Structure 1
Amino acid sequence: MEDVKCIFCGRRRVIQTSWTDANSGRMFLSCLSNGCNQFTWVDPLMCSRAVQIIPGLLKKVNKLEARLQTRNERERKLWICLAASWCIIVSMWFAI
């Protein structure tokens, strides 16, 4: 899409995606100016079924991503513990 200027303040507008429950996945043009809250929808309304399903799917994705992050942090801590234990074992071996 071409560069579109805001008709109210003249600054450039960018395409963004809404992730609110009512408009999940809808794209809109938003003004980059902090004081200007003008926006224009780029795509048409979604069907009512999509509006019902998308928020639930987004919540599931967010929940799974949080679980993955927790597991990755736990795995990293376990690798650190494993490396530390091997360092202790090696140092004890050479101390004998």
Structure 2
Amino acid sequence: MRTNAHRGSSELEDGNPWMLPSQVCYCGKVAKIQTSWTSSHPRRRFYVCAQKRCQMWEWGDPVMCNRSKQIIPGLLRRINSLEAEKKKGNSKLKNPWFWVSLCMFGVILCLILNEDKGTNGQL
């Protein structure tokens, strides 16, 4: 769905191929760029009115190939899963009982090693 919104400069800022050119909405303001994370349009960027005054809405990126549409959602799920695992692991390190039990293990290990040293030389 294309709109008749006025396009700004078609040059990419700083030569970055991921930067979209500025877009002006019907209100005359610079449009806001948002990203779609739906399974049918993963990571696809689009323009909307920054002030939410007009009904301006336009895709900023070209249509992705079907293979990209199939792969990207799976990659996003994998990233989310790994981030959840990392967060779960970090929360274990923040648990005070983890550190108390680790210290107790260290004390017991030291006592066992000292006891073995004391009995090695004596019969």
The answer to whether 1:6 aligns with 2:25 is: yes
Q: Count residues with an aligned counterpart.
A: 83
Q: Can you give the 5+ residue segments of structure 1 that lack an aligned partner in the other structure?
A: 90-96
Q: Report SS of the residue matched to 1:72.
A: helix
The answer to whether 1:43 aligns with 2:43 is: no
> What aligned pairs does 1:1-96 form with structure 2 within 5 A after superposition?
1-2=21-22, 4-7=23-26, 9-34=27-52, 36-77=54-95, 80-81=96-97, 82=99
> Percent of aligned positions with the same letter in both sequences?
37
CA distance in 1, matches of 2:102, 2:62: 59
Q: Can you give the 5+ residue segments of structure 2 that lack an aligned partner in the other structure?
A: 1-20, 108-123
Look at both structures and tell me which one has the larger radius of gyration over its CA atoms: 2
The Cα of 1:18 is off from its aligned counterpart by 1.2
CA distance in 2, matches of 1:21, 1:85: 44
CA distance in 2, matches of 1:85, 1:68: 20
Distance 1:67 1:13, change over 3 A: same
Q: Give the superposed CA RMSD.
A: 2.5
